[in-house]
Structure 1
Amino acid sequence: MDLGLKGKVAVITGGSVGIGLAIAEGLAAEGVDVVIAARGVERVRKEAGRIAKAFGVRAEGVACDVATREGTEDLLADVERLFGGADILINNAGTGSNETVLAAPDEKWQAYWDLHVMAAVRLARGLAPTMKRRGGGVILHNASICAAQPLWYEPIYNVTKAALMMFSKTLSTELIGDNIRVDCVNPGLILTPDWIKTAKQLTANKGGDWQAYLDRVAREHAPIKRFATPQELANFFVFLCSERASYSVGSTYYVDGGMLKSV
């Protein structure tokens, strides 16, 4: 199936590992030039080089912290310098949390707000005008099932991902007149390096069977009884970027193996 993406330019935040890297690879496989952004200089450049060699596209790695105004400004400047703008923006950068509402300090709330919400706001504000000049574009937000079905131990993550989902909906109505489609994806259990790291930490003093721990999590939460691979989720993102999803505007999609318990 020709997805009509060849020659486009995509910016993916949190793009050097896990879901973001899988999305970058999926887009590159369709002939998309990619800019992957992440904080780690060595890894983001290494992965960009690997993608370019593997898929025969132009791939650039930009080291920046998109949770800061300076980081987003640096990324926007590099995208303009390297490609003259972009056609696709994947706001993927994020991380889980662990706290209680009563104990979490203001600083932690602000840090997650900046990472999950303001990074998306600033990058959309910076790239939407270039998308308009190029004839249109696509902006996708990677939120979480926790935006609608929260887990008890990460209230800040839940709240900021819910805000990202609402931002996505609001932005979609503002930009569709410029032929820029905006959608949101709420993944369920995706087997990222963060999940594996957490499982190893939790089982270190209990025999170290981290795989069994993850299997229990999957059986408890997902009717499909397994985690998805980052590539399975990336396939959905790539489709939403394509002409095949041309009537998809302002929607939120759950890719969760049946984890959501409402309709």
Structure 2
Amino acid sequence: MDLGLKGKLAVITGASVGIGLAIVEGLAAEGTDLVLAARGGERLETEAARIAGKFGVSATAVAADVATAAGTEAIIAAAAKKGGADILINNAGTGSNETVMEAPDEKWQAYWDLHVMAAVRLARGIAPQMKKRGGGVILHNASICAVQPLWYEPIYNVSKSALMMFSKTLSTELIQDNIRVNCINAGLILTPDWIKTAKQLTAESGGNWEGYLQSVANEHAASKRFGTPEELANVFVFLSSERASYCIGSTYFVDGGMLKTI
């Protein structure tokens, strides 16, 4: 199936590893040119060169912290230098671990900047580029925790819920410029962070990190397994394409049956 993405320019944050890198590869396989953003410059440069060589697309690396205004400005400028973006995927983010009663203001603010203000700032800067090019697509990687929270990460839950509402609100504002905005809420996706955490938690009890992850999947997902970054990336790639032309202002769950409500 031709998704009509060849020659488009996509901006992906958190692009050097895990879900972000899987999205990069999925888009590159469709012939999409790329602006890859992440904090780790060396790793990002390596991945950008690999992607460009493997798929024959343009891949520009931008080392930037999207939780800062300066970081988002650098990404916006890089896209403008390439002629403007057609696709923006706000993927950068990370989990948390705290209680509401004990978490300091600074931690709340840090996650707000990373999960919400990064998306706000990038939309303000890149949507005008899309408008000049006749339209575009903005996708937000939120989480199932936006609607079905996990007890140990209240700040993550709240900030991802805000990102989901921002996506909905932005969609009604930008559709007049032929810019489609949608949100994806993923469940258990087997990223390097999950593996790292599992190894840490099982280090003193035999190191059966695979067994630990299976127990998590058994508890939460009807499918009894984690999804792969590539499975999630497939949804992002489809929603980026003209095949999803009537998908506007929605949230799509990719969670292996984890969501318990309708």
Q: Which category of TM-score, normalised to the shorter sequence, fits these structures?
A: over 0.9
SS in 2 for 1:108: helix
Structure 1 match to 2:195: 196
- Aligned-partner residue type, residue 9 of structure 2: V
1:1-263 to 2 correspondences below 5 Å: 1-81=1-81, 83-263=82-262
Between the aligned residues of both structures, percent identity stands at: 78
Question: Alpha-carbon deviations, 1:4-29, whole Å to 9, x = none?
Answer: 11000000000000000000100000
Amino acid at match of 2:61: G
The amino acid of 1:24's aligned partner reads V
What is the TM-score with the length of structure 2 in the denominator? 0.99
CA distance in 2, matches of 1:15, 1:66: 12
The answer as to whether partners of 2:35 and 2:78 remain within 8 angstroms in 1 is no
**Aligned alpha-carbon RMSD (Å):** 0.4
Separation in structure 1 between the aligned mates of residue 224 and residue 54 of structure 2, nearest angstrom? 33
CA distance in 1 between counterparts of 2:179 and 2:209 reads: 42
Q: Secondary structure at the match of 2:181?
A: strand
* Distance of 2:33 and 2:197 partners within structure 1: 33
Structure 1 segments of 4+ aligned residues over 2 angstroms from their partners: none
Distance 1:4 1:77 in 2: 25
1:214-251 C-alpha deviation (Å, 9 max, x unpaired)? 00000100000000000000001000001110000000
Question: Tell me, which stretches of 5 or more residues in structure 1 are unaligned?
Answer: none
The answer as to whether partners of 2:186 and 2:255 remain within 8 angstroms in 1 is yes
Following superposition, the deviation at residue 183 of structure 1 comes to 0.1
- Alpha-carbon distance in structure 1 between the residues aligned to 2:233 and 2:78: 24
Structure 2 CA distance for aligned equivalents of residues 44 and 124 of structure 1: 22
2-structure distance, mates of 1:174, 1:196: 39
| Count of equivalent residues | 262
What secondary structure is seen at the aligned counterpart in 1 of 2:114?
Answer: helix
Residue 51 of structure 1 and its aligned partner are, at CA, apart by: 0.4
Provide the C-alpha distance between the structure 1 equivalents of 2:4 and 2:116, rounded to a whole number of angstroms.
30
Q: Is the 8 A contact 2:189 2:229 kept in 1?
A: yes
Please list every run of 5 or more consecutive structure 2 residues that lacks an aligned counterpart in the other structure.
Answer: none
Matches of 1:222 and 1:69, distance apart in 2? 37
Shift of 1:54: 0.7
Contact 2:142 2:183 in 1 (8 A): yes
